[in-house]
Amino acid sequence: MQKRSHSPFLLAAKPLLAKIVGHLRPHFDYISVLATDDRGLSYFALPGETRTAEPMWVQRGFVFRAQRDGKVAEYACAVLPGDSAAKAAADIRARLEALLTDPTLITFPQIPDEPATSEYLGEIEEDPFAANPEAILIRLAALREKLTDGKVVVMAQSRYECVDVSRLFLSPNRSLMQSFLWSQAYLFGVARRGQMSKMSYRPASGRKGLEILRTLETSVPELARELSDLLDAVPMEPGEYEVILDPDMAGTLAHEAFGHGVETDMFFKKRARAVEYLGKRVGSDLVTMYDGAAGVDQTGSYLFDDEGVFSSKTCVIEKGIFKSGISDTLSALALKIPRTGNGRREAYSHKAYARMTNTYFAPGASSLGDMIASVKHGWKLSQLNSGMEDPRNWGIQLICMVGREIKDGKFTGRVASPIVCSGYVPDVLSAVSMVSGDFELGGSGACGKGHKEYAKVSSGGPYVKTKMRLG
């Protein structure tokens, strides 16, 4: 294993930032700075073309947060102003003080600044930044060529993306630093027969390096069979069915049903119905759900959030009872609830929101075989396409690409695609009747919020049996 190293840019900036914070400290009730230096790589192997690009996650800059008399202001910059700590601090102070004169600013309780010093360095097997880019493209091209047979699978593409994350947080009492790499990769295929085309894919992800490509390389035969099966897929006959959700589908159910709806800035803005259910039953006894950057290791994991709060593992639902939301600093202070380390920014120049990290159902005691055997008439659903929710009214919709019919406890061989799954969140969670002992997290996507502020997340857990409306 290879240990990551902290950004030389941040290490060089740290003494200067500490002096700037020291100059600003007497003028505000609270002052901090988050410094970021994230670099990344993207590789694509398409039919007749290979190329590289820079991912959307790349950033380098600083954001200062100040509080005075309860009001909070932030100033972000790509380059520190001035040629000395004193001059930079004077410029930053003037900008923050001008922002704090805004009469519309909300007053919050005092932001805590508990003493803490900590750092984290991640580890990987294969460093993508040390690898030959041509060798990576050759590897991706070989993946898509292996899947494409020219008869059933007529087109395929593969992608690999990685981001080397490096963050520094400083306040008068806190000095935190973290550096780690996360990767995600995909293999997409398109099967065609006459005028019919069907698409499916396999993802891989983790706080890992190029080694995640091995997962895709072993998935090719299964994906090829699935694409062939999809050419015989039938339209879904609308109705309510028993469904077995695979870990990716179940994780997205958790993410959409009790993810955005329990972000506590939504509580503060009165935009989430979930706040009315704190301490109340929202699911069956088999439903236990967590969110947290601590406790598991996937693309949504980190040591501290973008407000300098250590990560945690939050039990959102315990045996069907809604226990807690996930919070950023300001909403937690306003609501007088614990800070959970979920304050996240798309980039240093963006606002911090309460955001999900790794969201998942806890494993149960059933086997997948027993779950399938228990179904009178229903579907096993996999290969998520998309998901969305309505936190005010608690409606949920998931779209998947593969549904396999089950009758009298056995697969019939019929496949449906695509499938729209919908329901009212408490009804779907209350109908959960079996949960498998499996546990799998996937972090190959991103989560949008508000004006599409994106954050890297993962979701998953076990197989979950429930009831949903399909169409």
The 10s digit of each residue's pLDDT in 4-58 is 999 999 999 999 999 999 999 999 999 999 999 999 999 999 999 999 999 999 9
Same-domain pairing of 125 and 263: no
Same-domain pairing of 287 and 225: no
Same-domain pairing of 188 and 269: no
pLDDT above 70 for 196: yes
Q: Indicate the number of domains in the chain.
A: 2
Same-domain pairing of 75 and 208: yes
| Residue 195 binned pLDDT confidence (cut-offs 50, 70, 90) | confident
Identify the CATH number of the domain in which residue 213 sits. Answer: 3.30.2290.10
Same-domain pairing of 183 and 279: no
Among residues 230, 262, 286, the one where a domain terminates is 230
Same-domain pairing of 347 and 462: yes
Among residues 183, 207, 230, the one where a domain terminates is 230
Among residues 212, 230, 248, the one where a domain terminates is 230
| Integer Cα distance of 88 and 111 in angstroms | 23
Same-domain pairing of 294 and 157: no
The more confident residue out of 264 and 415 is 415
Full domain range(s) for residue 109: 2-230
| Integer Cα distance of 355 and 259 in angstroms | 8
Quote the pTM value.
0.94
Same-domain pairing of 300 and 193: no
Same-domain pairing of 376 and 304: yes
pLDDT above 80 for 258: no
Same-domain pairing of 192 and 267: no
Same-domain pairing of 221 and 267: no
| Residue 281 binned pLDDT confidence (cut-offs 50, 70, 90) | very high
The per-residue pLDDT for 255 is 86
| Residue 358 binned pLDDT confidence (cut-offs 50, 70, 90) | very high
Report the 3 state secondary structure along the chain. Answer: CEECCCCHHHHHHHHHHHHHHHHHHHHCCEEEEEEEEEEEEEEEEECCEEEEECCCCCEEEEEEEEEECCEEEEEEECCCCCCCHHHHHHHHHHHHHHHHCCCCCCECCCCCCCCEEEEEECEECCCCCCCCHHHHHHHHHHHHHHHCCCCCEEEEEEEEEEEEEEEEEECCCEEEEEEEEEEEEEEEEEEEECCEEEEEEEEEEECCCHHHHHHHHHHHHHHHHHHHHHCCCECCCCEEEEEEECHHHHHHHHHHHHCHHHEHHHHHCCCCHHHHHCCCECCCCCCCEEEECCCCCCCCCCCECCCCCECCEEEEEECCEECCCECCHHHHHHHCCCCCCCEECCCCCCCCEECCCEEEECCCCECHHHHHHCCCEEEEEEEEEEEEEECCCCEEEEEEEEEEEEECCEEEEEEECCEEEEEEHHHHHHCCCEEECCCEEECCCEEEECCCEEEECEEEECCEEEEEEEC
* Mean pLDDT along residues 195-215: 95
Same-domain pairing of 376 and 349: yes
Write out pLDDT tens, residues 45-86: 999 999 999 999 999 999 999 999 999 999 999 999 988 999
| Residue 285 binned pLDDT confidence (cut-offs 50, 70, 90) | very high
**For the ranges 239-243, 275-279, 341-345, 397-401, which has the lowest average pLDDT?**
275-279
Backbone dihedral angles phi then psi of residue 252, each to the nearest 5 degrees: -70, -35
